[in-house]
Structure 1
Amino acid sequence: MVTGKSDQELHAEDDEENSVLAGDSHASDDQTSKAPNGGFEDQSVESDGLGLITESVRSSDSDMPHDARRVLVHLMRQGSVMASQKPKLFEQLCRYELAIRKHLSEVYLQLVLDQKSGVAFVASIASEHVGNVDDDGLEDEAADSYESATLIPKRTLSLFDTLILLVLRKHYQDRESAGEQKITIDIERLESYLTPFLPITDHASKDRKKLLVRVKEMVKRKVLSTIRGEEDRYEITPIIRYVVNAGFLETMLAEYTALAQEQLNETDLVGSDQK
């Protein structure tokens, strides 16, 4: 087709037309990116460096205040909060108690809070929907259902652990009755409390190394707390009250004392017969 224009002029017009088309395309993209996003204005789109697009939400769906969520995270990680160790955190826990209780109950957990003693910890609760079976043959399945419905698995204590808890509770009760606020115990005292029960334990003599291992486990479980600068002395936390009931304490100590004495008498009898 003859247009009366030179080849140079025709190329210039083509370049200008392509430039306009590219400009329209970018403008369309800008309009799309600025268009309302249907109520998701708080979302931003980011690249994760691998070519994948991820969305980061600035706002949270949770109706819990930030401080309440901080306390909740600490409880889920550590299992307890002590006012003596974390005063600000404990204060916030008391402030947002209802919200924290509600959240924990949704995962079959309960908050045990003793403001007077300054202790709070998480414990399991049995769901009304767990263990409801019509057939006796499904008892094992019900037990499995309970285990899968709690974040705190059941744990069977050894005789040695049980005896440690009993003598710690006894010491705590006696010192508390005497008016002490901060109740401590050292390893030597703990060993002396356990000595009468040696006949029914699995070791024939004192074994401090084994005792120290169990004490470290008690520290991990927040029953005991280390004291700065005192390697062999520990503070007994108020949690011991809830681990060992006062009425249960006296009954069990009496039974284990009688059992240990019986075992000792049998050992002495066997020794005299051998002579």
Structure 2
Amino acid sequence: MSQRGPRRAYPDVFPAPAASDSTIPDAAAGLTEGDHGRLPDGTRRALVQLLRGPYVNRARHPRLWPSLIADEAAIRERLGDLFLELVLDREAGLAFVRNMTSAEADLPRVIRSTPLTLVDTVIVLFLRDRLLRAAASDRRVFVGRDEIDDATSVYRAASGSDAVGFARRVNASIEKLKNANVLLGTGEEERYEVSPILGMVFDADEVLAVTAELRALAGAS
């Protein structure tokens, strides 16, 4: 008896979006009985990945990226119905969603944000700085645990922890960033690739404000 191979997560070829006067392309037929959706299969999968988070990456999601680009307008429309907006960088090959904001209206927060601890913030800014330094040469960025320890050590006194307790905090922050796919495994123990998504999450004003606070905190400790 022949053995059946594992089921594919995606079909080999996604259906091309059908032409339509609307920004939402019409699917040729429902994907299942009772399906009232209008988006093609590939576009739906891209939308689901955006909602699951933390992001869609051209290199990590090669089957989803073409559908995201082809049906960008439709995806933006669907996200807008949920009070969400798409952040897309075609050149970097990255996309994610964030809560829609308005100065005039009180909009619901659909995506819950995770508060950053002192150690989280220090590591995130360190990683973002490494990304920006490598951006001009379009190089991938890798960091080791020893580099993270060096970047955070100056803030140990400000954290109020002893050496053992502070190491636990750094461990917890690294695990949080790994779970968020900000730090990507390399197959080498305690060495990580930094996801370029960090370059898109914080704007320059936010970084300057937080960096100034951290420097003041480090100087006072």
TM-score scaled by structure 1? 0.62
Report if aligned partners of 1:169, 1:249 keep a CA contact under 8 Å in 2. no
Task: Identify the match of residue 173 of structure 1 among 132, 151, 169.
Answer: 132
Residue identity opposite 2:70 in structure 1: R
Specify the alignment match of 1:103 in structure 2: 78
**Structure 2 unaligned spans of 5+:** 1-28
After superposition, where does 1:21-60 map in structure 2 within 5 Å? 58=33, 60=35
Specify the alignment match of 1:226 in structure 2: 185
Specify the alignment match of 1:5 in structure 2: none
1:95 Cα deviation from its structure 2 partner: 1.1
Report if aligned partners of 1:170, 1:249 keep a CA contact under 8 Å in 2. no
The alignment partner of 1:88 has SS state of: coil
Specify the alignment match of 1:259 in structure 2: 217
Specify the alignment match of 1:79 in structure 2: 54
Tell me, yes or no, if structure 1 residue 193 matches structure 2 residue 168.
Answer: no
1:247 Cα deviation from its structure 2 partner: 4.4
Report if aligned partners of 1:114, 1:120 keep a CA contact under 8 Å in 2. yes
Q: Give me the whole-angstrom Cα distance separating, in 2, the residues matched to 1:235 and 1:246.
A: 22
Q: Give me the whole-angstrom Cα distance separating, in 2, the residues matched to 1:128 and 1:250.
A: 23
Which digits, 9 at most, give the CA deviation of each residue in 1:90-135, with x for residues without a partner?
A: 122111111111101101111111111111111111367842xxxx
Q: Give me the whole-angstrom Cα distance separating, in 2, the residues matched to 1:64 and 1:120.
A: 19
The alignment partner of 1:87 has SS state of: coil
The alignment partner of 1:165 has SS state of: helix
Report if aligned partners of 2:156, 2:163 keep a CA contact under 8 Å in 1. yes
**Structure 1 unaligned spans of 5+:** 1-41, 43-56, 132-145, 264-275
Specify the alignment match of 1:267 in structure 2: none
Q: Give me the whole-angstrom Cα distance separating, in 1, the residues matched to 2:53 and 2:213.
A: 34
1:255 Cα deviation from its structure 2 partner: 3.4
Q: Give me the whole-angstrom Cα distance separating, in 2, the residues matched to 1:85 and 1:109.
A: 23
Report if aligned partners of 1:186, 1:234 keep a CA contact under 8 Å in 2. yes
Change (3 A) 1:245 1:129: closer
Tell me, yes or no, if structure 1 residue 89 matches structure 2 residue 47.
Answer: no
Change (3 A) 1:127 1:253: closer
Change (3 A) 1:118 1:62: same
Report if aligned partners of 1:222, 1:239 keep a CA contact under 8 Å in 2. no
Q: Give me the whole-angstrom Cα distance separating, in 1, the residues matched to 2:98 and 2:204.
A: 19
1:221 Cα deviation from its structure 2 partner: 2.1
Greater relative CO (CA pairs within 8 A, separation 6+): 2
Report if aligned partners of 2:118, 2:159 keep a CA contact under 8 Å in 1. yes
Cα RMSD for the two superposed structures: 2.6
Q: How many correspondences in the alignment?
A: 192
Report if aligned partners of 2:119, 2:152 keep a CA contact under 8 Å in 1. no
Tell me, yes or no, if structure 1 residue 164 matches structure 2 residue 139.
Answer: no
Q: Give me the whole-angstrom Cα distance separating, in 1, the residues matched to 2:114 and 2:53.
A: 17
Specify the alignment match of 1:141 in structure 2: none
- Bigger helix share: 1
Q: Give me the whole-angstrom Cα distance separating, in 1, the residues matched to 2:147 and 2:88.
A: 30
Task: Identify the match of residue 120 of structure 1 among 95, 99, 120.
Answer: 95
The alignment partner of 1:111 has SS state of: strand
Q: Give me the whole-angstrom Cα distance separating, in 2, the residues matched to 1:60 and 1:127.
A: 34
Residue identity opposite 2:56 in structure 1: V
Change (3 A) 1:218 1:203: same
